[in-house]
Structure 1
Amino acid sequence: MSEYTDDFFDEKKIKKAIKKSKTKSIITIIFVSLLVFVVLNISNFAISAYFSQKAFKQWDAYVRLTTPNGFISETIDSRGFLGGISNYKVSKDMKRKAVVIEQKQYSFGLFPSILVSRGSGGSIGITGEDWQFAYKENGWREMMFFHPNVTYKKYNNDEELINSMQGDKIYEVALSFHKPYKQSELPFVELPKMTWFWINTYTDSQIKTFQEEAIEYDWSATFISEHEALGFSTNSIYNSTTVLDYEYNKFLKLLQTSISPEHKNAYTNIKGKKIEDIEILGVVVYGTKGQILEIMKEPIIKAASLGGIVDNY
């Protein structure tokens, strides 16, 4: 008698077993695929979130350094594979209120998206008959700075412009000194809340380049733009007893964090120096017309450049 039963060769049972096996295989494949999909998405989200946060810190440091009293007020991420694009708003604290001045983008991640921008517009002062101003997206003029160790053919002074303006306003004005001052040497009895200090982070080579440009180029284009002047703010009223150690140490950390290699170079230039040894080249002050014009009377002021203006309420 055969050791195999008729059931062993039952075609229906064989087909049923094969079908059952295929079903189990399909279920296993679907389950594994779903598991892989979930794991990949979680990994992608985690990696993108990590690089998004890292990029935000770098770009926020950049904005805080290059825009007096500026900061990133809002970001909206569009994430792709292991990266993405962040649309962000830059706001400026104008003492009474914060105002959005620009909207920009940056990419982040292991595979950051390529950003392509297009635009067109006119230029101001290209003939050399007026300063070659740059403007922010909200229409405010970017402030100009003049290094005290550079001799310029002409210095901008917006005193007459400020004097002619009407209404109760808060003015933002960049004031360049006639020479570098250490904090203990500043002659101001008092400066208003939210004063921004322009710090000398430049090397001798950079200053030499500024001087050569001032000699060779037209006066209308030889100045240091707002984005090239680095500094920090104090939110309290400044006087001779004010201690700036906290603000200065925060400034050093921002230089190290910023996305810009130039900011890291600036940190190298002043690394190891205490606030008492740092040179201050100018200030940005915020106040009413009367307050601003009173400060501008100080003999140490070499140039004055108007920035933003908001209603004083």
Structure 2
Amino acid sequence: MNEITEDIFDENKIKKAIKKGKRKTIITIVIVSVIVFFVLNVVNFAAYTYFSQKAFKQWDAYVRLSTPNGYISETVDTKGILGGESQYKVSKDMKIKSIVIEKKQYQFGLNPSFSISRGAGGNIGITGEDWQVTYKENGWRDLMFFHPNITYKKYKNDGHLINQMEGDRIYEVALSFDKPYKQNELPIFELPETTWFWINTYSDKQIKTFKTEAEEHDWTSTFISEKEALGFSTTSTIFSTVSLEYEYNDFLSLLKTSLSQEHRNAYNTVKDIKVDNIDILGIVIYGTADEIADIIEKPFIKAASLGGVIDNY
């Protein structure tokens, strides 16, 4: 009995037992912490990957719709907690090569990263005495469009600018038609390589708003901006009799995918219209001054707006 009592109150053995218990506790805490850390990282990576891919699809759809022949050419993602930020480049296919025109960023996820971007624009083209032109980051003009069902006080015609330029350059020009055309009614039988089609996705309410603006506002600001003109492109020479069903279905898919509510509204406007019955309001073409001059002078061209210019090599 005395041996048991002495063993219970043996100070050295008690200290050893306490140390052993502390070691077990520390080891348990470390193991649990490692497991929790690993699980949280796996969950965070899975969430980051999911939201990153979803955001890219939405933003790429937005860029492809709001920038004729534009697309996201590169992204660099920064991972955060359940989200992050993506720095991306917007490029434009200019027939013979692609050019980066803008660098931007977007946030994504449940807890997106936060950043501040600063910049300032100039006053070129916004004096009220000339067209209120806006520019991309690389200095190219944003394209202007003129709806054929609306009567404007003045129409943009940049044909003279192209004629004044020297060298065998490639020009991007937005051409607005004199009236809406179905594909099989297009007055251009053979369309140039890399042609972008401006599609009538506007609701009656939007058309009414455009008409009111054209009647009441100064001519310098009454046009449809590049981001408000939606359409799709082909990347090879095509004839007006060739079906554009594949390109059109891809266009509808982009409208549904885009993060823009305006794009989803446009989808609801045209979703039940077959490609053969869709109205084409204009085109964006790419070519040399001589190639474009042949089309600009046609009587069915109501307006011509110059965008980007690249050297032909």
Cα displacement string for residues 19-39 of structure 1 (whole angstroms, at most 9, x for unaligned residues): 011011011101111111111
Cα displacement string for residues 76-112 of structure 1 (whole angstroms, at most 9, x for unaligned residues): 1111111111110000011111100000011100122
| 2:131 aligned partner | 131
Contact 1:124 1:131 (C-alpha < 8 Å) held by counterparts: no
- Measured after TM superposition, the shift of residue 143 of structure 1 is 0.6
- Measured after TM superposition, the shift of residue 13 of structure 1 is 1.1
Contact 2:178 2:301 (C-alpha < 8 Å) held by counterparts: yes
Identity across matched positions, percent? 69
| 2:163 aligned partner | 163
- Measured after TM superposition, the shift of residue 122 of structure 1 is 1.8
Given residue 53 of structure 2, which amino acid in structure 1 is its aligned partner? Q
Q: More displaced, 119-128 or 147-156?
A: 119-128
Given residue 166 of structure 1, which amino acid in structure 2 is its aligned partner? E
| 1:62 aligned partner | 62
Contact 1:169 1:310 (C-alpha < 8 Å) held by counterparts: yes
Q: More displaced, 73-82 or 112-121?
A: 112-121
- Measured after TM superposition, the shift of residue 128 of structure 1 is 2.3
Aligned partners of 2:191 and 2:240: how far apart in 1?
Answer: 10
| 1:94 aligned partner | 94
SS in 1 for 2:4: coil
Given residue 242 of structure 1, which amino acid in structure 2 is its aligned partner? V
Aligned partners of 1:301 and 1:268: how far apart in 2?
Answer: 29
Aligned partners of 2:247 and 2:214: how far apart in 1?
Answer: 32
Aligned partners of 2:62 and 2:196: how far apart in 1?
Answer: 16
- Measured after TM superposition, the shift of residue 5 of structure 1 is 5.8
Aligned partners of 1:12 and 1:2: how far apart in 2?
Answer: 17
- Measured after TM superposition, the shift of residue 273 of structure 1 is 0.9
Aligned partners of 1:182 and 1:33: how far apart in 2?
Answer: 65
| 1:39 aligned partner | 39
| 2:291 aligned partner | 291
> How many residues of Structure 1 are paired with residues of Structure 2 in the alignment?
313
- Measured after TM superposition, the shift of residue 114 of structure 1 is 3.9
- Measured after TM superposition, the shift of residue 50 of structure 1 is 0.5
Matches within 5 A, 1:97-112: 97-112=97-112
Contact 1:199 1:279 (C-alpha < 8 Å) held by counterparts: yes
Aligned partners of 1:109 and 1:307: how far apart in 2?
Answer: 35
| 2:273 aligned partner | 273
Aligned partners of 1:280 and 1:73: how far apart in 2?
Answer: 28
- Measured after TM superposition, the shift of residue 3 of structure 1 is 7.6
Contact 1:123 1:132 (C-alpha < 8 Å) held by counterparts: no
- Measured after TM superposition, the shift of residue 2 of structure 1 is 5.1
Cα displacement string for residues 60-84 of structure 1 (whole angstroms, at most 9, x for unaligned residues): 0000001011000011111111111
| TM-score (ref. length: structure 1) | 0.97
Listed as ranges, the gaps of 5+ residues in structure 2 are none
SS in 1 for 2:292: helix
Aligned partners of 1:136 and 1:125: how far apart in 2?
Answer: 13
Aligned partners of 2:160 and 2:234: how far apart in 1?
Answer: 28
Aligned partners of 1:123 and 1:226: how far apart in 2?
Answer: 19
Contact 2:172 2:287 (C-alpha < 8 Å) held by counterparts: yes
Aligned partners of 2:241 and 2:148: how far apart in 1?
Answer: 25
Matches within 5 A, 1:1-313: 1=1, 4=4, 6-313=6-313
Contact 1:87 1:104 (C-alpha < 8 Å) held by counterparts: yes
Aligned partners of 1:167 and 1:188: how far apart in 2?
Answer: 26
Listed as ranges, the gaps of 5+ residues in structure 1 are none
Aligned partners of 1:301 and 1:144: how far apart in 2?
Answer: 14
Given residue 26 of structure 1, which amino acid in structure 2 is its aligned partner? I
Given residue 69 of structure 2, which amino acid in structure 1 is its aligned partner? N
- Structure 1 runs, 4 residues or longer, greater than 4 Å off: none
- Measured after TM superposition, the shift of residue 17 of structure 1 is 1.0
